Amino acid sequence: MKTKSIILILTTMILACNNLHKPLVIGHRGARGHAAENTLTSIQKAIELGVDGIEIDIFRCASGELVVFHDKSVEKLTDGTGFIEQLSLDSIKNLNVLGQEKIPTLNEVLDLINGEIILNIELKGSNTSFLTHQLINSYFKSTNWKPEKIFISSFDWNELRAFHQLNKEVRIAILTEDDPVYAIPIAKELNAFAINPNHKLLTKLNAEKIKSENISIYPWTVNEIKDINRMKKIGVDAIITDYPERVYSKNNKLLVNK
C-alpha cells in the first residue's frame, strides 16, 4: 500500500507539471541575450529558438521611414552619433550596431518574419502611429500577414490612443513601469487585450485584479530562471525575455521541456 501511495503521488506531481500553464514566449528585441538587439540577426536567432513572437522598437527617422531601434540616440549601440529621429535612412544604414549589424527598417522585419509568428511592435518614437497603421495595413493586403499576428504596445499612451483611432483590427497592449493595476483604465478605454508590466512589480494580487477584467498579462523583461518560474506561478499569458530558451529549458524544474 505504501508503494502504491508513493507511485500515486509521483504520478500526480508529473501530471501537474505537464498541465501547468505554458505562457507564450516573446523574444525581447529578437534574442537580445544572443545577438545585437533589434537586428535581423537577433530576430532570426529568436525564430531559431522557437519563440511564439518577437518584440521590437520603432522610430520614425528624418526621411520618413520606420526603423527598428531602441534608444533615442545612436551613440550607445553604434559607431555613429546623433538622434535616430534626426538621421536619414541613408545615414542610418551606414551605421554598425555593436560593430557588425545594420539597423533594419520595419519593412525588413515584416519581410523576414512573413507572418509566421507574432510581432509586438513597440511605438518608441513620436508620430509613429499613423505610419505604422499605413504600413501594416499594406502588408495585410499584399502578404501573409494577418491582423491577429501583430499587436502594438507603447509607454506613450497618447500614441496608443492615436493608433486606436486609426485601427480597430490590430490589438493593443499597454506598457507600464508602475503598478500595472493603474493601467487598467487606459486598457479598458482602448479595448486593449493586454497589459505589459515590469515583472518586478507584478504580484499574485495585482495579477488577479488584471485577470478579473479579462485582460492578459505580458511581463517584461524576464531573464532569470527564478523570475521566469515566479511568472509561471502567477499565471501570466506571455513572457518577454532576452533568453527565450530559458522559459522551457531543462534547468527550469517547474515545466517539462517544450
Tell me the per-residue pLDDT of 103-143, one tens digit each, with 9 for 90 and over: 999 999 999 999 999 999 999 999 999 999 999 999 999 99
Mean pLDDT of 25-32: 98
Mean pLDDT of 3-22: 50
- Name the pLDDT band for 2 (thresholds 50, 70, 90): low
Mean pLDDT of 158-170: 98
Q: Are 38 and 31 in contact (CB under 8 A)?
A: no
pLDDT in tens, 47-89: 999 999 999 999 999 999 999 999 999 999 999 999 999 999 9
**% residues pLDDT > 90 (the chain):** 87
pLDDT in tens, 189-201: 999 999 999 999 9
- Whole-prediction pTM value? 0.90
Residue type, 183: A
**How many contiguous H segments (helices) and E segments (strands) does the chain have?**
9, 9
Higher pLDDT, residue 4 or 201: 201
The residue with cell 479595448 is: 191
Distance CA(115)–CA(110), nearest Å, equals 7
| Range of weakest confidence among 17-26, 129-138, 155-164 | 17-26
Q: Residue 12's pLDDT is what?
A: 44
Q: Residue 7's pLDDT is what?
A: 45
- Name the pLDDT band for 21 (thresholds 50, 70, 90): low
Q: Hey, what's the cell of 88? A: 536619414
Which residues neighbour 94 within 8 Å (Cβ) at sequence distance 6 or greater? 80
Distance CA(115)–CA(143), nearest Å, equals 8
Q: Residue 3's pLDDT is what?
A: 52
Which residues neighbour 205 within 8 Å (Cβ) at sequence distance 6 or greater? none
Residues with catalytic roles: 28, 70
Distance CA(257)–CA(213), nearest Å, equals 31
Q: Hey, what's the cell of 146? A: 494577418
The residues facing 119 across adjacent strands are: 54, 150
Q: Residue 14's pLDDT is what?
A: 46
Q: Hey, what's the cell of 46? A: 529568436
Mean pLDDT over the full length of the chain = 92
Distance CA(195)–CA(181), nearest Å, equals 9
